[in-house]
Chains A and B, each alone.
Chain A
Amino acid sequence: MNRRIALLALLAAVAPFAAPSRAADEALPPAEKILDRYIEVTGGKAVYDKRKSEISSGHIEFAAGGITGSIVRYAAEPDKYYSAMDIQGLGKVEMGVADGIAWEKSALLGARIKDGEERAQAMREARMNSSYHWRELYTKAETAGVETVDGQECYKVVMTPAAGKPETLYFEKKSGLLRKTSLIAASQMGDVPAELIAAEYKDFGGMLAPSKIIQKAAGQEFTITIDSVKANEPIPADRFALPPEIQALVKK
């Protein structure tokens, strides 16, 4: 699953989001089965095995605030990652992971190296094919019940990472697709309850992936639309290199 957590430093009020819950009165499949099924329905093991790198691009919109921007993301085995969001009026916000260093840089806030839970979360998101390699990233996965998300019954799976707070994933019973993720996003400004809703899926060269993600955090709602996902395309050699400002921080 491609999860985008793009918390900008202008977060404001949060509207609470409460999904109805009902007691599990049926035998629940083990979490491993649900997670493996997700791999099957989104392309299958063979497709994931072949996928060594990825370039995705799209746009982001904060409709209530009238803010738009573009996103581009590069990822490569095992856990190299670079993304750039260019937000109208804010400029570019760049993030990356390379050689165990998770970083962020912008004209707005400067350059910094992430640590603690924020780093751990960034490292998980940087893992190429993270949904396929979940066993490396989480110490525990448990099916916690059934809930309805946008009218669809979903299995609720709680994933406990090696570092950080548990994340709850909701997989549609019928299709096996991931519909919603609820988590506490660790950010520099603090822990923020966030939800990512995979509103639409699209076939990107043989892999089904979320093409429209609605991210709700701190009272603001962003829509990320992925327009293009290219697998195994050449990536510039220096794409994942640490920017000079980050190198300077590493040397300190």
Chain B
Amino acid sequence: MIALGACSLCAYGQLTAAQRQLNIDSFEKVWITIRDKHWEKNPGGLDWHAVHEEFRPKIEQAQTMEQARAVLREMLGRLHETHFAIFPGGGVYDAVQEGVQGPGSTGIDLRILDGEAVVTSVDPGSPAELAGVQRGWAIREVNGMPLGDAIRQLSSDPSIPEITLTRAILARLSGPAGGKIRIGFAAAGDVPTTLQLALAEPRGIPAGFGNLPPQPVWIETKKLDRTGYIRFNMFLDVVRVMNSFAKMIADCQKCDGLILDLRGNPGGIGAMAMGMAGYLVRKPGLRLGTMYTREASLNFIINPRTPGFSGPVAVLLDAESASTSEILAGGLKDLGRARIFGTRSAAAALPSVIERLPNGDGFQYAVANYISEGGKPLEGAGVQPDIEVKLSRHALLSGHDTVLDAALQWIKSETAASHAAQ
């Protein structure tokens, strides 16, 4: 959740008295939030009051925004935990916080492959598809601004994880629906191709949940030969997504295998992981993992559901697979119920929020810890694939999704082995 603040501060130079007070207010908000919401009474094993006594004089003495941020970061660094961060307001980092700049989309999804922004999928019926954009095309510039510098700058910042980098670049390709955007591509053979693309309503049906603004949610189910395939972009819109998931399972009773493609899925409602796992697990009493709050341990219990699916399950992940995606994938992996293909997930499996501080900066903090059933935390570690497979621009240009291909091949071999055993 982002609580919009009301302050804009200069990035450089001495601060006014009012600006220094906003930094002090921000410090107090950060300190109080962790004191009250961290899952440990002594956050990070520290005497949190002593931390306040140590850092309060420092924030009072900070003369610039950089000094103020350094104080807050140093204080957060004492926790030695990920997903406690301060994001400066302004510049390229605005995209880091805000994600998409507007609801309009070209229909392009991209990943950073070998230092380049590469088209990895094109939404059906989207402006990009209608204009002939293909998977594997590299995106070199947007509205005349080269992407290379932004990619290099954000890639070199260790506080910016890959998921955030991708979103920041993707934000450059969005804007208000109805607008237009000019993109310079390198098409097949590196042929420069500039296209003016419309920005349309993004794919999916808007679905809200609480304070979360409505998000467009889509789900895709199909059969790839004798293998079922399910992909959806967020764990939201419970009734529609769960019903579609259930229908796919029911239609796939005789499938050789099932592929659950969670690439790019940033998560959503955690309980949906439990619900989906219920279609894949037959034995009662199993769990995906446990969430630890200050007062309670909450088990992500799986209720076996009927009809379920008993065949091989492959889960596809990449660095954009986060939160509930990681809970589901990590739990199924730990239970030995799914084989994971792709690359390491985002390692962002805590329920964390981002709020705006009084001084305009962003403050991210986690509110609970989560340990997957295998006993390891997902936060900071992510879900490691059983079979690491990377996308490549070359393969995409020749029409191959190497990750999906690997999963299909595995299901084929499992089926053959099963038939041989019989």
Contact = CB atoms under 8 A, between A and B. Distances in A.
Does B associate with A? yes
A193 B298 contact: no
Interface stretch (B18-26, B77-85, B237-245, B405-413): B237-245
Interface residues of B, number: 39
Contact of B210 (A89, A109, A110, A192): A89
Contacts of B367: 12-13, 219
B168 to A, nearest CB: 27
Interface string B283-308: 00000000101111111110101100
Interface stretch (A62-70, A137-145, A152-160, A201-209): A62-70
Interface string A170-199: 000000000000000000111111000000
B293 A218 contact: yes
A27 interface: no
Contacts of A62: 210
Contact of B298 (A11, A90, A109): A11
A66 B211 contact: yes
A23 interface: no
A109 B271 contact: yes
Contact of A12 (B242, B243, B293): B293
B36 interface: yes
A69 to B, nearest CB: 11
B239 A107 contact: yes
Contact of A9 (B207, B236, B237, B274): B274
A107 B303 contact: no
A111 B351 CA distance: 26
B295 A110 contact: no
A10 interface: yes
A29 interface: no
Nearest to A17: B295
Given A13-B367, A89-B238, A67 B209 contact: yes
A19 interface: no
Interface in A3-61: 8-16
Interface residues of A, number: 32
B275 A91 contact: no
A110 B245 CA distance: 12
Contacts of B269: 10, 89-90, 108
Interface in A105-120: 107-112
A218 B296 contact: yes
Contact of A110 (B37, B278, B297): B278
B87 interface: no
A248 interface: yes
Contact of B275 (A8, A16, A108, A189): A108
Interface string B257-293: 0000000000001111011001000000000000101
B39 interface: yes
Residue among A11, A111, A189, A193 facing the most chain B CB atoms (10 A cut-off): A189
B368 interface: yes
A193 B297 CA distance: 10
B37 A15 contact: yes
Contacts of B306: 248
B303 A218 contact: no
B380 interface: no
B305 A15 contact: no
B355 to A, nearest CB: 12
B297 A91 contact: no
B295 A218 contact: yes
A189 B299 contact: yes
Contacts of B300: 189
Nearest to A112: B303
B208 interface: yes
Nearest to B366: A13
A108 B270 CA distance: 10
B243 A107 contact: yes
Contacts of A112: 303
B275 A219 contact: no
A66 B306 CA distance: 33
Nearest to A11: B298
B293 A109 contact: no
Interface of B: 36-37, 39, 41, 207-212, 236-239, 242-243, 269-272, 274-275, 278, 291, 293-301, 303, 305-306, 351, 367-368
Given A108-B238, A188-B301, 19 more contacts: A10-B269, A12-B351, A14-B295, A15-B37, A16-B41, A16-B294, A65-B210, A67-B209, A67-B210, A89-B207, A90-B238, A107-B275, A108-B269, A109-B274, A109-B278, A109-B303, A188-B303, A192-B298, A219-B294
28 contacts: A9-B270, A9-B274, A11-B296, A12-B291, A13-B39, A13-B293, A13-B367, A14-B295, A65-B210, A66-B212, A89-B237, A91-B238, A91-B242, A107-B239, A108-B269, A108-B272, A108-B275, A109-B271, A110-B278, A111-B305, A188-B299, A189-B298, A190-B296, A190-B299, A218-B295, A219-B293, A219-B294, A248-B306
